[in-house]
Amino acid sequence: MDQVRFDYSTKNIPIPPRNSYWKRLIEKIGSVIKRMRWKAFFFDRHEQSNNDAANSDNFGFKSRKCPPQNSDLDKFEADRLDMVHNTKFRNVNNKFQNKRNGDIKKIKKSTKAFIPADKTSNFYKLDKTHHDKLLRDSITTTYKKASTDAAIIIDSQAKSISQELKIDDRAEQIAKLQAFITLKDHKDNFAHHPTCRLINPAKSELGKVSKQILDNINSKIRKTTKLNQWKNTSNLRRSGSLRAYRTFPPEQPRRKIRKNNLGLYRDDGLVLLRNTSGPQPERIREDITREFKKQGLNIYISTNLKICNFLDVTLNLADGSHYPYRKPNNETLYINTNSKHPPTIIKHIPAAIGRRISDISSSKELFNKNKPHYESALKQSGHGEKLTYTERKKPETHIRKSRQRNIIWFNPPHSMNVQTNIGRIFMNLVSKYFPKNHR
């Protein structure tokens, strides 16, 4: 197993071949035409019918029905498709893109698999035998062999639920997808005993429904209990205290710990203990571990910590400071300025990085101490801007409002080898066929 490092982020987008761009552009045009037809269809219908259709809860599943054609859109649609045929390209000689394309060719020619690390930017070359063994061991550790009838039963149950929710014409059966692994190279003794994270993409689409229901439940719990469930490290900083979401049944005994001194982000938690002796945290750890085992769960707890690395922040209880944390053996990489991302996204990357480092630095001094590393990573990706410290303002509380979509967005695919201004042509067609006095 050989470690491979690329000196650029894998999030960089290559310049696509012309056929790939045309295909993507046709998909985008087809999508916006479909949405415009639906909008025209409901516009021509009675207002009450339109409201009923808009208020139905489909849990984000898109309709597979085709909207009817509209005579007012025929000429517009024809010109939109002509725009695809008239799209012109230009030759782009980009050193970064040429290097990236060369790496892609080497990977395709290689007889070994390139497996990404779980939480770092590293890759590892594995031969087929070694890869299959790691994948098989990861699967057999978590799953047991089942008959094909099991999938049929799951699909049958999912169908019944979909029919109750009236989304059976939108949801699909479980797709048969190959599981894959990532390597946990941040774990101890990885070189001699590599461990993996198993990714199983074959899941029921009703998981989307479950997620929305659980999000609503969690939102109500947070509002009722006044607990701050962290969504990111910015929430951790704003809370001013640490808490954990406890999942034990209420009848089980637990030590009294103030809710504001407990915290959880997904499966990573923090507990702040005040005025406790050395052995006391260890006894608390044993009690929590015992209760988890009763529920058939495992938990790893470190106690008596004055300095803790939590997500991408180092927290120091001794002086009350916090500053950026990076996992060892991990290289910081950003999107290159020559990537195929839209220019506006690339332009705002340095400012976004500066705000992020400012948010997780408790002082300007700590920000200045850590920023050279990030400026160097930005410079390596072609960004010449310097990072500046910004005081974080108290964020306003936003309540998401459920509203009808009165705007139809068209986002044409961006590529630096496209000479035609797709956006301008589209807006000219809108002005031509839908003037202000149009019905």
How is residue 244 written in tokens?
A: 């954990």
Q: Are residues 76 and 94 in the same domain?
A: yes
Under 8 Å between Cβ of 95 and 7: no
**What pLDDT, on a 0 to 100 scale, did the predictor assign at position 150?**
85
Residue 370 confidence (pLDDT): 93
Q: Which of 198, 225, 252 is the last residue of a domain?
A: 225
Q: Are residues 413 and 371 in the same domain?
A: yes
Which pLDDT value is given to residue 151?
A: 83
- Residue ending a domain, among 173, 200, 225, is 225
- Please say whether the beta carbons of 350 and 378 come within 8 A: yes
State which residues form the domain around 129.
122-225
Structure token pair of residue 343: 């220019």
pLDDT of residue 248: 36
Give CA–CA dist 109/47, Å, rounded: 59
Q: Is the four-CA dihedral 331, 336, 340, 344 of positive or negative sign?
A: positive
Rounded CA separation 368/228 (Å): 30
Taking each helix axis from N to C end, the angle separating 349-359 and 364-380, rounded to the nearest 10 degrees, works out to 150
Q: Give residue 106's pLDDT.
A: 92
Same domain membership, residue 336 and residue 304: no
Asked if 98 and 1 sit in the same domain, the reply is yes
Q: Does one domain contain both 270 and 178?
A: no
Q: Which residues in 179-213 are b (16+ Cβ under 10 Å) and which e?
A: ebbbbbbbeeebeeebbbebeeeeebbbeebeeee
Beta-carbon contacts of 203 under 8 Å, excluding residues fewer than 6 positions away, are 174
Q: Are strands 196-199 and 313-316 parallel, antiparallel or unpaired?
A: unpaired
At 342, phi and psi to the nearest 5?
Answer: -55, 140
User: Is the domain of 285 the same as that of 346?
Assistant: no
Q: In sequence order, which ranges of 71-113 are alpha helices (DSSP H)?
A: 74-85, 95-109
Q: How many CA atoms, within 13 angstroms, populate the side-chain half-sphere of residue 110?
A: 16
Asked if residue 239 and residue 256 are part of one domain, the reply reads yes
The structural domain count of the chain equals: 3
Residue 277 in contact with residue 283, Cβ under 8 Å? Answer: no
Residue 371 burial (C-beta neighbours within 10 Å; 0-12, 13-18, 19+) = buried
My answer on whether 303 and 349 are in the same domain is no
Q: In sequence order, what are the residues at sequence separation of 6 or more whose Cβ sits closer than 8 angstroms to the Cβ of residue 224?
A: none
Same domain, 213 and 242: no
Q: Which residue has the tokens 């950003």?
A: 334
The structure tokens 């050279």 sit at 372
- Helix, strand, coil percentages in the chain from 3-state DSSP, rounded to 5: 45, 10, 45
Task: Name the region of 356 (left: φ>0; alpha: ψ -120 to 50; beta: rest).
Answer: alpha
C-alpha distances (whole Å) from 146 to each of 149, 173, 399 are: 8, 18, 45
pLDDT confidence of residue 243: 34
pLDDT at 88: 93
Cα–Cα–Cα angle for 179, 185, 189, nearest 5°?
120
Contact criterion met (CB below 8 Å) for 381 and 360? no
Give the residue ranges of the chain where pLDDT is below 70: 46-56, 226-260, 393-405, 439
- End of a domain among 225, 245, 263? 225
* Contact (CB, 8 A) for 331 and 121: yes
Say yes or no: 220 and 242 in one domain: no
Is 169 inside a domain boundary? yes
Query: What length does the chain have?
Result: 439
Question: Looking at residue 402, what is its pLDDT?
Answer: 58
Rounded to whole angstroms, what are the CA distances from 62 to 21, 35, 86, 157, 392? 24, 11, 31, 21, 39
162 and 199: one domain?
yes
95 and 178 in a single domain? The answer is no
Is residue 357 within 8 Å of residue 390, measured between CB atoms?
A: no
